[in-house]
Amino acid sequence: MFSVSVVLLSAALLLAMVVNLTQKPAKSAKLTTNCMLISVFGGLIYYGVGFAEKTGSLLLSVVRTPLTVTRMFVGVNELSAIEGTTLVSTMPGLLVFWLLHLLAFYSVASAAINTLGAEALRYLRFLLSEKGDLTLIYGINEDSLALAADCAGDRGSSVVFVAENATAAQVNDLNNRGMSVFSGRAAAESDSRFIRRLHLRRRKLTVYALHAEEDRNLFYALRLKDALEKAGVSPERTRITLPGAEDILTPMLQVSESAYGFGYVNVYDLGMLAARAMIRTCPPWDFVSFDAEGRAEEDFSCVLIGFGRYGQAALKQLVMNGQFAGSRFHAAVFSPKFRTESGYLLTDCPDLMKNYDITIYEEYAGSKAFYDYLEAHLSELKLIAVCTGNEETNREVSDSLMLYLKRRMAEHICVVRCGRSGARYQETVGSPVQTTGIFTRALLSAEDADREAILLNSIYDTSERSPWEKWVACDAFSKMSSRASADFVPALLKASGCTREELLSGDWKPEGKRLDALGETEHRRWLAFHYAMGYTRMSDEEFEANARLYALCMAEGKPCPVRVSKNQQTRTHACLIPWEELDALSAREKALTGREVNYRQMDINNVLALPQLLRSEEEAKKAG
């Protein structure tokens, strides 16, 4: 039994030493250095005292001791030369003697293995971390590295990079951060051997396809999907995030009743994410005050510089989040390329520019016309969004604007940069720059980015599925609608005149003019969202035809193939009318169908659902 114990304890000690080699190189190097120092000083003491006692010669002991200590690091000991001396005459003394030799040899072995066996160590490090969830990142670039740094903070997850090619510098850098890198054709094409190495049977897999060449991300996702299916990996344990068009990519990649796929597909557009980051950094409602009835006391006026991918997304977000009862919205767009850049937006969202006060100036941000506009509107402007599409140009333009506003004593105007790096905002010249980056879990992970939207969607979906299951089943438009509604919650909170805590207390019962104003604000937001999604007002003829068909189907006891007020295929909606006209629409629909409907109340119900949403958020936080 004693012998077995010796073997087991020795094996455990050896395993602990090997496991240490799999830790981050910085940590392993620190331990190796400490082991070396301990063994050096300990060896000097043991052999110095031992040789002095045995020989009685100071000179001989001084010469022999350092040579003997050096031999410790190659596994040689000279116990016989100092046997019987004070320090090795007891069992504890002998234990320390052998421990010092073990540490000496281990420090040399550790240094050698880290130098000569880096690849083997990286793989061993990955194998020993297979118990946690796995975050797989395709592509090594500035964006993916930023995300990896954010993900690395999650102790329950391992971060692994996959790339066609990886330089030695990149591999070493990621290795030093405690991440693994698999490069080469087998990894990039997700062959069966590589998938087996990931050990995915019992772990959750989160994939971010972030290659700098965007087309490669889809091809990688398709190859990985096929490989996971062949390996028998459960879709429920997988999810992927990649750039593209949600309506197109989600059906291709997400699991369905008829096809294998990822458990959830999160598709993002860089412009949209940058614009959402901008709204989180500088929301329009921060620049508007509200009276006791919940009506805005100022108009919201803004300027956009640039009208490419980021400028158009920023305009949509500002329109959607800048609508308040009692307030007018105005935007001035400065872009010398407006005619060549705006074709898709003007065609896809024909009523967006028609229904809002948006003025176009085909001028550069540095032009005299631009600064003449600023001079004339300094007192009313709230925000300037710099969205040129070039990060360096954004910085140059915003720096000039900040200096200009400082000299005009107009630093109340927010200047925010909106681009690939997210949103950057500097309150005053010389103050710290506040950044909301895109390539973080807060914007790329559905669980984090859409937490409030998922809960909001769950409130209106009365099925018994979990909030996440309901979200996965949503179509792209419903997800965008929930996101837009959830993003606007802070605006309704501010307009309500109540704090989050007051709403959670259960004492919040808005009535009369305040409730009416909040309902109107919500309706204005809803209108702006639909215009930004390309909807137009349904014609009276289509509305009446739908109503007659609905009444006929009800009379015959058949399901109606159309919705009375909405046609999702043609993107028309009868409720795209001012708040004041909703009651008349409700009455007209009732007259045609006999169905009780109150479109105003629907907007008010969205407002009254705020406490329930906030309580759901609190419960979700407590549940982890």
pTM of the model: 0.81
Please report, as a single letter, which amino acid is at residue 448: D
* Contact yes or no for 138/115 (Cβ under 8 A): no
**CA-to-CA distance for 305 and 415, rounded, in angstroms?**
11
CA 367 to chain centre: 37
**CA-to-CA distance for 421 and 438, rounded, in angstroms?**
6
Q: How confident is the model at residue 308 (pLDDT cuts 50, 70, 90)?
A: very high
**Residue 398 DSSP SS3:** helix
Structure confidence by residue, pLDDT tens digits, 439-494? 999 999 988 899 999 999 998 888 889 999 999 999 999 999 999 999 999 999 99
**CA-to-CA distance for 109 and 165, rounded, in angstroms?**
30
**CA-to-CA distance for 218 and 220, rounded, in angstroms?**
5
Give just the sign of the alpha carbon dihedral 73, 75, 81, 83. positive
| Stretch 365-384: mean pLDDT | 95
**CA-to-CA distance for 160 and 210, rounded, in angstroms?**
13
Find residue 536's DSSP bridge partners. 572
Is pLDDT larger for residue 49 or for residue 374? 374
Could you give the domains of the chain? 20-116 (no CATH), 119-268 (3.40.50.720), 273-442 (3.40.50), 488-623 (no CATH)
**CA-to-CA distance for 247 and 254, rounded, in angstroms?**
11
The pLDDT value given to residue 363: 95
Percent helix, strand, coil in the chain, to 5, is 60, 15, 30
The pLDDT value given to residue 464: 86
Does residue 367 come out as left (phi exceeding 0), alpha (psi in the -120 to 50 range) or beta?
A: beta
| Stretch 287-311: mean pLDDT | 96
**For 435, phi and psi rounded to 5 degrees?**
-125, 135
- For the CA atoms of 443, 446, 450, 456, what is the dihedral angle to 10 degrees? 180
Q: How confident is the model at residue 431 (pLDDT cuts 50, 70, 90)?
A: confident
**CA-to-CA distance for 565 and 574, rounded, in angstroms?**
5
User: Would you tell me how many other CB atoms lie within 10 Å of the CB of residue 155?
Assistant: 7
* Contact yes or no for 616/459 (Cβ under 8 A): yes
| Stretch 398-419: mean pLDDT | 94
The pLDDT value given to residue 15: 47
The pLDDT value given to residue 462: 85
Q: Tokens 């510089």 sit at which residue? A: 305
* Contact yes or no for 338/358 (Cβ under 8 A): no
The pLDDT value given to residue 622: 74
Q: Tokens 């419903």 sit at which residue? A: 478
Structure confidence by residue, pLDDT tens digits, 77-136? 888 888 888 887 888 888 888 888 777 777 766 665 555 455 555 555 555 455 578 999
- DSSP class of residue 183 equals E
What are the structure tokens assigned to 185, written together? 């054709």
End-to-end CA distance of the chain: 46
**CA-to-CA distance for 447 and 360, rounded, in angstroms?**
38
Q: Tokens 């919500």 sit at which residue? A: 522
| CA distances, 274 to each of 145, 151, 315, 368, 587 (Å) | 18, 20, 12, 28, 42
